C-alpha cells in the first residue's frame, strides 16, 4: 500500500475527516490540512493535552500531515486555494451541506481548476434528505442507524453511548476507502474526476447486515435488543462476570467451538444444549454459565482456555488493550522516545510506504512552502500574509 505521489487537501477538522486522511497519510499520501486563519482545527486545543502541548485527539489523527492556513472567505484566499487545487488529487471536506457552495469551493467550482479531482464530502447525514442540514454528533448517527437500540440488554434498558465513536470512525474509514477507490478508478482510466458523498449515518446503517433482512421484512420477527443471536439472545454468545469482578466473552456460535469449550471446562453434559430454541433450556444454560464463570478470575479463564478453540476472550479496558501481548506482537502500538505513543495503521503490508513522518504540524506551518510550489513569488506571499488572506 503505497499512495506515494497522491496529494490530499483536507478541509476537515476534529475526528472523522482527519481519521480518514490519517489512514491515507499512513499509506503514503501527502496530506495537507487546509485550516482557517483563526482557530484552525480546534481539536488542537481540546483536553487532554499530550507532552507536545497538543490536543490528544489532534495528535492521534494528524501525524505526518502538512498545514496551510487560508481564509477561504476572502477573494485572495480562495484564489490561493484554487492554485493548490490545480496540483491536488483529492479534496476532502466535512462542512454542513451548502457551506462549500457559499465559499465557492464546491466540486463543480473546483473541477474548473482540476477536472481530474476526486472530491469527497463527509457529513453526518449526507447532502440530501430531510436531515441533511441537521446538526449532529456520533451519538445521533448511531441512534438513527439502529445501533444504539441494539446494544443494550433489552428494550427496557437505557441505550448507552458506545465507548468508541463508531459513526465518526466508520465514516472516516469509509471515506478513505471511497477515496482510494475513486483514485484507482481514475488511474485505471475508468473515470475522471469524481464526487463522493459519504454520510456517517449511512455507513453505520450499512453495518446492520446481520439483522438487515429481519429489519426489512419482519421475518421471522423485528430484531430487538437482547433477543437476537448476536445481542445476548443465546447463552453461548454472551459476556459473563468472573470471580474478580471482571468480565469475559464467549462467542461459540459454531457447534465445534461450543463442544471444545464444554470439554475444556469439564461440562460435556452441556454439549447437546447448543442450538436449542427452548426458552427454559436457554435460561437454565445461562444460569449454569454464570455460575461456572464465577469460579475463576478473568486471567485464570484466559489461561485455562488459552489453547482451546472455543471463541473466548477477556473484556479489557482501553489501558489494558494497549499493553496486551496480542497488539504488542502485531506492533499496532507505536512508541518512541521523542513523541507521544499512538495507535498505528491497522493493516500490515509487505510493501509499506518508504517513509512516514510522525510530526504534527503547527497551524499554517507549511503555508509559504505550498504557496511557493503553486507559483507565488516571495512578494506575493508576503502580500497575502499582510492582508490576512493566509497565515
The residues annotated with a catalytic role in the active site are 137, 168
Residue that the C-alpha cell 492582508 belongs to:
387
Q: The C-alpha cell of 224 is what?
A: 430487538
CA angle 23, 24, 29 (to 5 degrees): 145
Rounded Cα gap, residues 14 and 122, in angstroms: 12
Q: What is the DSSP letter of 15?
A: S
Q: Give me the residues paired with residue 55 across strands.
A: 49
Cα(first)–Cα(last) distance of the chain, in Å?
A: 34
Q: What are the E-state strand segments in the chain?
A: 7-10, 30-35, 66-69, 90-93, 118-123, 194-199, 237-241, 247-251, 312-314, 333-336, 339-343
Residues 101, 116: Cα–Cα separation, whole Å: 19
Distance CA 174, CA 250 (A): 29
Q: Of 196, 46, 222, 223, which Cα lies nearest the Cα of 122?
A: 196
DSSP 362: P
What gap in Å lies between CA 132 and CA 153, rounded to an integer? 31
Amino acid at each position: 500500500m503505497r499512495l506515494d505521489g497522491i496529494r490530499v487537501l483536507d478541509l476537515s477538522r476534529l475526528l472523522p475527516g482527519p481519521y480518514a486522511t490519517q489512514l491515507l497519510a499512513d499509506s503514503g499520501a501527502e496530506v495537507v490540512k487546509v485550516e482557517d486563519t483563526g482557530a484552525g482545527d480546534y481539536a488542537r486545543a481540546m483536553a487532554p493535552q499530550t507532552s507536545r502541548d497538543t490536543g490528544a485527539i489532534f495528535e492521534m489523527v494528524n501525524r505526518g500531515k502538512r498545514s496551510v492556513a487560508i481564509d477561504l472567505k476572502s477573494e485572495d484566499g480562495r484564489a490561493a486555494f484554487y492554485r493548490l487545487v490545480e496540483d491536488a488529487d483529492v479534496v476532502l471536506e466535512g462542512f454542513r451541506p451548502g457551506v462549500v457552495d457559499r465559499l465557492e469551493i464546491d466540486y463543480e467550482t473546483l473541477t474548473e481548476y482540476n477536472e481530474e479531482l476526486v472530491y469527497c464530502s463527509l457529513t453526518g447525514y449526507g447532502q440530501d434528505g430531510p436531515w441533511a442540514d441537521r446538526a449532529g454528533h456520533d451519538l445521533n448517527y448511531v441512534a438513527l442507524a439502529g445501533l444504539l437500540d441494539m446494544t443494550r440488554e433489552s428494550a427496557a434498558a437505557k441505550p448507552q453511548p458506545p465507548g468508541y465513536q463508531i459513526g465518526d470512525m466508520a465514516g472516516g474509514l469509509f471515506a478513505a476507502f471511497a477515496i482510494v477507490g475513486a483514485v484507482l478508478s481514475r488511474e485505471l482510466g475508468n473515470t475522471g474526476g469524481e464526487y463522493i458523498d459519504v454520510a456517517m449515518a449511512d455507513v453505520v446503517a450499512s453495518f446492520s447486515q446481520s439483522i438487515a433482512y429481519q429489519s426489512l421484512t419482519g421475518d421471522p420477527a423485528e430484531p430487538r435488543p437482547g433477543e437476537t443471536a448476536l445481542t445476548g439472545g443465546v447463552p453461548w454468545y454472551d459476556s459473563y462476570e468472573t470471580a474478580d469482578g471482571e468480565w469475559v466473552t464467549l462467542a461459540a456460535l459454531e457447534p465445534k467451538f461450543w463442544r471444545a469449550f464444554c470439554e475444556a471446562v469439564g461440562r460435556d453434559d452441556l454439549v447437546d444444549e447448543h442450538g436449542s430454541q427452548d426458552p427454559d433450556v436457554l435460561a437454565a444454560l445461562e444460569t449454569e454459565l454464570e455460575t461456572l464463570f464465577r469460579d475463576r478470575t478473568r486471567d485464570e479463564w484466559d489461561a485455562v482456555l488459552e489453547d482451546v478453540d472455543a471463541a473466548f476472550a477477556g473484556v479489557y479496558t482501553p489501558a489494558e488493550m494497549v499493553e496486551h501481548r496480542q497488539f504488542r506482537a502485531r506492533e499496532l502500538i507505536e512508541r518512541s522516545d521523542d513523541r507521544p505513543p499512538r495507535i498505528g495503521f491497522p493493516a500490515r503490508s509487505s510493501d509499506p510506504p518508504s517513509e512516514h513522518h510522525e510530526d504534527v504540524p503547527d497551524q499554517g506551518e507549511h503555508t509559504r512552502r505550498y504557496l511557493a510550489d503553486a507559483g507565488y513569488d516571495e512578494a506575493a506571499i508576503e502580500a497575502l500574509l499582510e492582508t490576512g488572506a493566509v497565515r
